[in-house]
């Protein structure tokens, strides 16, 4: 049982200033309490506010305060979650009985569930975190929370009671990576125990209150067959992608945020030979490689004191010393672009990375500017030469205006003409129109190139015939 349990009658609703002294802690490493954090009130939930009258919240507020008086929350959070929940149920039941609070059994159940979420979990976020269909959760202050489902952003009827409650949940989340957020350190990236990525930015930078953005971790990453099923790519296109992965093309996957780059990268790695040694570098390990011989590396943000940062470039440079056969970079966004190209150029064929760009050509110019800005004093032409001799294929992912995600280009990098890199689309997605519901109608097709530059490579791996068949089958309009 618990250390600090006082007589229930003595437990006062602790809403007056200086309220409860025991601050609920995160499930893992508790953060050092900040002045703001300690000044906060006990967390409360508005988990399902719709249709619920104010008395529900008043009651919950009281119960929560009483509960925090009655138990040692720090000890509770150290327990396993199920035991802790059971304990909260018992104590909350007792408090309700002692105070002669009359509610229906259903309401009591919900109330207690809400309380558990507040004390042990992420308050109003809990029901959203439990849903598998949600890709992103966006909390902008204590206004209603937005989610992204099936490519579309929707407003939920879920909200935090106030910014204090929200900040409290933010603290609990970032405490798990040993950080805290406050005015002096208002930005933090963290990860939930389930692998979801979290960004927190708080006032004064976030003007309207703490802002929390969660990219939910998908346990089961989409596979290429599913992308075909969803129409993100046609079956022939999928075959081409499979061959690109198999025959060790150096690949850049380009696209906007949330366009499906990581998903696609994960699909491509599915075709890597199980005998290869792969090293992956990511900001937060998302890729789920099926091969046995994989080393996963993750960058590290600077500590609160601003020390100890390990950048993507540090990782990519280091992984060259790890005898990789392929290097996979989760997201290329800085000078590591140069090291990745070097790797591609020096016998690590089949290396891959994603980057943020809207077209394959833009992907190349982005890489060029990442290298230029990285302080390498190389002439533009040299950078371009390195680029075109390293990258074989650029695959473009896009989220269209109807929310659907498609692979819009499979493009080869051919070489240089004068100072200009030359690319050639092999396979594209054409938008034809829109149906009555605003859904985009379009089709994937090959551009008629019968023998891409990497056909030679495909031949070496015994895939040439399959490649040209897929390209021929994807041709549209000439039967």
Ligand X SMILES: Nc1ncnc2c1ncn2[C@@H]1O[C@H](COP(=O)(O)OP(=O)(O)O)[C@@H](O)[C@H]1O
> How many other β-carbons are positioned within 10 Å of the β-carbon of residue 140?
16
Q: Would you say 63 or 268 has its CB closer to Mg ion?
A: 268
Q: Would you say 180 or 405 has its CB closer to ligand X?
A: 405
User: In sequence order, what are the residues at sequence separation of 6 or more whose Cβ sits closer than 8 angstroms to the Cβ of residue 215?
Assistant: 135, 136, 196, 197, 198, 258
405, interface contact from ligand X, Mg ion, none, CB < 5-8 Å by kind: ligand X
- Please state the closest distance from residue 268 (CB atom) to Mg ion, in A: 13
Mask of contacts with Mg ion, 155-184, x by CB under 5 A? ------------------------------
- Please state the closest distance from residue 403 (CB atom) to Mg ion, in A: 17
> How many other β-carbons are positioned within 10 Å of the β-carbon of residue 5?
13
- Please state the closest distance from residue 218 (CB atom) to Mg ion, in A: 11
Strand 197-201 versus strand 294-298 pairing type: unpaired
Give the residue from 48, 213, 51 showing the smallest Cα distance to 147: 213
Element (H, E) at 314: helix 312-319
CA gap 272, 175 in Å, rounded:
37
Helix segments in 72-125, DSSP class H = 73-78, 81-98, 105-120
Give the residue from 317, 276, 279 showing the smallest Cα distance to 296: 279
Q: Would you say 165 or 262 has its CB closer to Mg ion?
A: 262
Where does this chain bind ligand X (CB under 6 A)? 135, 218, 222, 227, 230, 232, 255, 257-263, 405
Q: Would you say 70 or 224 has its CB closer to Mg ion?
A: 224
Give the residue from 143, 140, 151 showing the smallest Cα distance to 403: 151
Angle (nearest 5°) at CA 73 between 43 and 17: 50
257, interface contact from Mg ion, ligand X, none, CB < 5-8 Å by kind: ligand X
Secondary structure class of 362 (helix, strand, coil): helix
- Please state the closest distance from residue 90 (CB atom) to ligand X, in A: 38
Tokens of 479: 């039967």
361, interface contact from ligand X, Mg ion, none, CB < 5-8 Å by kind: none
258, interface contact from ligand X, Mg ion, none, CB < 5-8 Å by kind: ligand X
230, interface contact from ligand X, Mg ion, none, CB < 5-8 Å by kind: ligand X
Q: Would you say 129 or 416 has its CB closer to ligand X?
A: 129
Q: Would you say 229 or 369 has its CB closer to ligand X?
A: 229
Q: Which residue is nearest to ligand X (CB)?
A: 260
- Please state the closest distance from residue 255 (CB atom) to ligand X, in A: 5
180, interface contact from Mg ion, ligand X, none, CB < 5-8 Å by kind: none
117, interface contact from Mg ion, ligand X, none, CB < 5-8 Å by kind: none
Q: Would you say 141 or 258 has its CB closer to Mg ion?
A: 258
Q: Which residue is nearest to Mg ion (CB)?
A: 262
- Please state the closest distance from residue 231 (CB atom) to ligand X, in A: 8
CA gap 27, 21 in Å, rounded:
18
- Please state the closest distance from residue 148 (CB atom) to ligand X, in A: 8
Q: What are φ and ψ of residue 420, in 5° steps?
A: -110, 125
Q: Would you say 135 or 400 has its CB closer to Mg ion?
A: 135
- Please state the closest distance from residue 356 (CB atom) to ligand X, in A: 8
Strand 278-282 versus strand 294-298 pairing type: parallel
Strand 197-201 versus strand 251-255 pairing type: unpaired
Q: Please tell me the count of residues contacting Mg ion according to CB under 5 A.
A: 1
> How many other β-carbons are positioned within 10 Å of the β-carbon of residue 219?
9
DSSP 298: E
Tokens of 207: 């003007």
Q: Would you say 175 or 262 has its CB closer to Mg ion?
A: 262
Q: Contact between 262 and Mg ion (CB under 5 A)? A: yes
CA gap 345, 182 in Å, rounded:
45
Tokens of 113: 């569930």
255, interface contact from Mg ion, ligand X, none, CB < 5-8 Å by kind: ligand X
Q: Which stretch binds Mg ion (CB under 5 A): 75-83, 234-242, 262-270, 309-317?
A: 262-270
Q: Can you give the binding site for Mg ion, defined by CB under 5 A? A: 262
């Amino acid at each position: 049982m618990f250390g600090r349990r006082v007589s229930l009658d003595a437990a006062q609703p602790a809403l007056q200033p200086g309220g409860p002294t025991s601050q609920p802690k995160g499930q893992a490493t508790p953060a050092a309490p900040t002045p703001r954090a300690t000044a906060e009130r006990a967390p409360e939930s508005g988990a399902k506010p719709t249709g619920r009258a104010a008395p529900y919240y008043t009651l919950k507020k009281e119960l929560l305060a009483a509960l925090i008086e009655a138990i040692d929350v720090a000890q509770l959070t150290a327990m396993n979650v199920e035991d802790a929940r059971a304990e909260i149920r018992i104590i909350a039941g007792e408090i309700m009985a002692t105070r002669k609070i009359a509610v229906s059994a259903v309401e009591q159940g919900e109330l207690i569930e809400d309380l558990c979420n507040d004390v042990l979990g992420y308050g109003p976020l809990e029901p959203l975190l439990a849903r598998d269909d949600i890709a992103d959760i966006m909390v902008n202050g204590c206004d209603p929370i937005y989610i992204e489902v099936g490519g579309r952003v929707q407003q939920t009827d879920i909200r935090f009671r106030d910014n204090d409650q929200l900040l409290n949940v933010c603290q609990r989340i970032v405490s798990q990576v040993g950080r805290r957020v406050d005015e002096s350190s208002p930005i933090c990236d963290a990860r939930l125990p389930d692998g979801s990525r979290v960004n927190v930015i708080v006032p004064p930078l976030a003007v309207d209150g703490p802002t929390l953005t969660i990219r939910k971790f998908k346990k089961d990453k989409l596979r290429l067959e599913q992308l075909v099923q969803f129409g993100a790519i046609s079956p022939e296109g999928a075959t081409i992608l499979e061959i690109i992965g198999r025959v060790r093309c150096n690949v850049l996957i380009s696209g906007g945020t949330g366009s499906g780059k990581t998903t696609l990268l994960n699909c491509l790695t599915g075709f890597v030979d199980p005998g290869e040694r792969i090293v992956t570098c990511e900001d937060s390990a998302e890729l789920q490689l099926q091969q046995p011989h994989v080393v996963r590396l993750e960058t590290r943000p600077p500590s609160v004191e601003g020390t100890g940062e390990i950048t993507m470039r540090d990782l990519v440079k280091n992984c060259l010393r790890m005898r990789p056969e392929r290097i996979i970079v989760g997201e290329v966004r800085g000078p590591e672009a140069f090291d990745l190209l070097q790797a591609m150029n020096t016998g690590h064929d089949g290396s891959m990375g994603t980057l943020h760009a809207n077209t394959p050509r833009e992907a190349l110019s982005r890489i060029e500017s990442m290298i230029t800005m990285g302080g390498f004093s190389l002439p533009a032409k040299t950078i371009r030469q390195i680029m075109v001799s390293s990258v074989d294929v650029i695959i473009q992912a896009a989220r269209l205006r109807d929310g659907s995600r498609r692979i819009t280009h499979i493009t080869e990098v051919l070489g240089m003409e004068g100072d200009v890199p030359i690319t050639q689309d092999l396979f594209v997605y054409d938008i034809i129109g829109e149906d009555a519901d605003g859904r985009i109608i379009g089709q994937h097709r090959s551009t008629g190139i019968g023998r891409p530059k990497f056909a030679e490579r495909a031949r070496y791996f015994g895939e040439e015939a399959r490649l040209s068949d897929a390209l021929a089958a994807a041709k549209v309009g000439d039967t």
